[in-house]
């Protein structure tokens, strides 16, 4: 299978090359030239498969034989062997025809583990085969960094540099990254916000001249196609558990960078009968404003109690726009150039109408989010993290049909966000799982850097292992 850039000017790449490239040379994102299509009968035949078996069925067409089947099965088994629940992604009923999909059963307690545990093993395989060493550079608003570090900490062929906004992630999130002391792991606390981190990563990918000779950058953010691919699986897994393809399903997704919900959109295009995809946002509501009012304009970033969603520029929305504009790379390149220049983007009437057929959206501020956590705990005895609470509220406010199962994606464990949980009336910090019980006693190591790309790139150049 070939991979093409959303902006139409970069070289067409194979699966492995697209994974290593991350951002395309024209500034676009790589997407498959065509999407695999699964018939109703084929999807029905997957009922009862384990998560690992289903992952093989969903992901293998994207590789078109580049990764041998036996190797792919081995990579999948390794990726999910570290999850604490045998179901990998268990479903919990939370209301009438409403379910919570627990995506926090991985080693770093967040949905990012689904993609990054797999990506870490995939990179190991590809780099060893090519006898190649790379530098990973990523930005995190909280969860991507720890999941990426956990997935790559044991790789001899990788040095990993993760930027997080200084003092703008929770303490648990920070310590999950900064207490990993392997020689190939480097944490950078940037004196800026997440968008500053993300912009620095994008700029570094565009000009990699600061790297030692023979090295290249590899992305672990959701600009990397392999991350999106791996996340498609749990939509099929939840849908099958609730009766698909014989009945439709709906999903509500708390999202900042649009990668998680874009995977759901792809699942629907591949044959899963999804009736509705709900976008849940916090005060940083550019995606909600876009879908509800065709207002995709930049506002001041707000620091919230759901920090993983404190994002203003949603990178993966470009992949969606590519489809909404009939995969016209030139048209999209012009649209994105205008957005970069003016800070404003308006969809055409046709594109907006197409998006609204599947997507609805909702915005929740901190006070209302805390009330949702409190209400769910009081009524059900179930503790939500702040991001999941936003997804639950978004589902309940925009749900189209009560007869269709609504699945709310639980993207993180509540122990990662004790401040929000305490504000909701929970009397103590929610306990960390056993494997992380000593997190606050572990040694930390990270470098605080100014919001200057030259300083960060110099730090990276000096610390890449020769």
Sign of CA dihedral 307, 322, 250, 64: negative
Q: Measured between alpha carbons, how far is 183 from 231 in angstroms, rounded to an integer?
A: 29
What residues pair up with 389 in beta bridges, in sequence order? Answer: none
CB atoms within 10 A of CB 430: 16
Do 305 and 420 contact (CB within 8 A), yes or no?
A: yes
Active centre residues (catalytic) = 112
Token reading at 375: 């209400």
What are the DSSP E strand ranges found in 23-125?
30-32, 91-95, 98-102
Nearest alpha-carbon partner for 252 in 114, 43, 97, 117 = 97
Q: Measured between alpha carbons, how far is 426 from 445 in angstroms, rounded to an integer?
A: 31
Residue 360, preceding peptide bond in cis (omega within 30° of 0): no
Between helices 144-152 and 171-178, what is the axis angle to 10°? Answer: 20
Classify residue 2 by its DSSP letter.
Answer: -
Q: Measured between alpha carbons, how far is 288 from 282 in angstroms, rounded to an integer?
A: 9
CB atoms within 10 A of CB 126: 21
Q: Measured between alpha carbons, how far is 380 from 389 in angstroms, rounded to an integer?
A: 13
- Which residue has tokens 């999807």? 43
CB atoms within 10 A of CB 274: 21
What residues pair up with 139 in beta bridges, in sequence order? Answer: 163
Task: Specify the DSSP element, H or E, that contains 162.
Answer: strand 158-165
Render the burial of 304-342: b for 16+ CB within 10 Å, e for the rest.
Answer: bbbbbbbbbbbbbbbbbbbbbbeeebebbbebbeebeee
Q: Measured between alpha carbons, how far is 291 from 29 in angstroms, rounded to an integer?
A: 21
Contacts of 259 (CB under 8 A, 6+ apart): 222, 227, 228, 231, 315, 316
């Amino acid at each position: 299978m070939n991979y093409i850039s959303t902006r139409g000017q970069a070289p067409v790449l194979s699966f492995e090359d697209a994974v290593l490239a991350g951002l395309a040379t024209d500034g676009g994102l790589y997407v498959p030239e065509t999407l695999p299509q699964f018939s109703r009968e084929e999807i029905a035949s997957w009922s009862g498969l384990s998560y690992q078996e289903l992952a093989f069925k969903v992901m293998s067409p994207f590789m078109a034989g580049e990764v041998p089947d036996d190797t792919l099965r081995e990579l999948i088994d390794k990726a999910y062997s570290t999850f604490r629940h045998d179901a990998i992604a268990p479903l919990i009923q939370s209301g009438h025809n409403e379910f919570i999909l627990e995506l926090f059963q991985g080693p770093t307690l967040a949905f990012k583990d689904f993609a990054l545990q797999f990506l870490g093993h995939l990179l190991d395989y590809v780099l060893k085969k090519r006898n190649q060493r790379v530098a990973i550079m990523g930005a995190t608003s909280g969860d991507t960094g720890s999941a990426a570090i956990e997935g790559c900490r044991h790789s001899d062929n990788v040095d990993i540099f993760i930027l997080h906004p200084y003092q703008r992630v929770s303490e648990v999130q920070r310590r999950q990254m900064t207490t990993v002391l392997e020689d190939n792991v480097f944490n950078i606390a940037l004196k800026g916000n997440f968008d500053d981190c993300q912009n620095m990563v994008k700029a570094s990918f565009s000009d990699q001249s600061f790297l030692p000779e023979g090295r290249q950058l590899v992305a672990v953010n959701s600009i990397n196609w392999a991350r999106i691919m791996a996340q498609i699986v749990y939509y099929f897994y939840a849908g099958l558990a609730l009766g698909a393809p014989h009945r439709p399903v709906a999903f509500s997704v708390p999202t900042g960078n649009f990668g998680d919900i874009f995977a759901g959109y792809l699942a629907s295009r591949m044959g899963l009968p999804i009736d509705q995809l709900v976008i849940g946002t916090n005060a940083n509501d550019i995606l909600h404003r876009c879908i509800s009012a065709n207002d995709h304009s930049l506002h001041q970033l707000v620091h919230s109690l759901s920090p993983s969603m404190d994002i203003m520029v949603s990178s993966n929305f470009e992949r969606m726009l590519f489809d909404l504009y009939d995969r016209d790379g030139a048209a999209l390149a012009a649209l994105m150039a205008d957005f970069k220049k003016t800070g404003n983007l308006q969809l055409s009437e046709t594109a907006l109408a197409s998006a609204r057929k599947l997507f609805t959206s909702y915005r929740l501020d901190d006070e209302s989010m805390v009330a949702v956590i409190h209400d769910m705990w009081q009524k059900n005895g179930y503790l939500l993290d702040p991001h999941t609470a936003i997804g639950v509220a978004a589902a309940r406010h925009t749900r189209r049909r009560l007869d269709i199962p609504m699945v709310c994606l639980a993207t993180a464990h509540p122990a990662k966000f004790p401040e929000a949980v305490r504000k909701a009336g929970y009397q103590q910090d929610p306990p960390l799982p056993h494997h992380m019980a000593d997190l606050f006693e572990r040694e930390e190591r990270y470098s605080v850097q100014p919001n200057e790309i030259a300083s960060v790139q110099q730090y990276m150049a000096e610390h890449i292992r020769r």
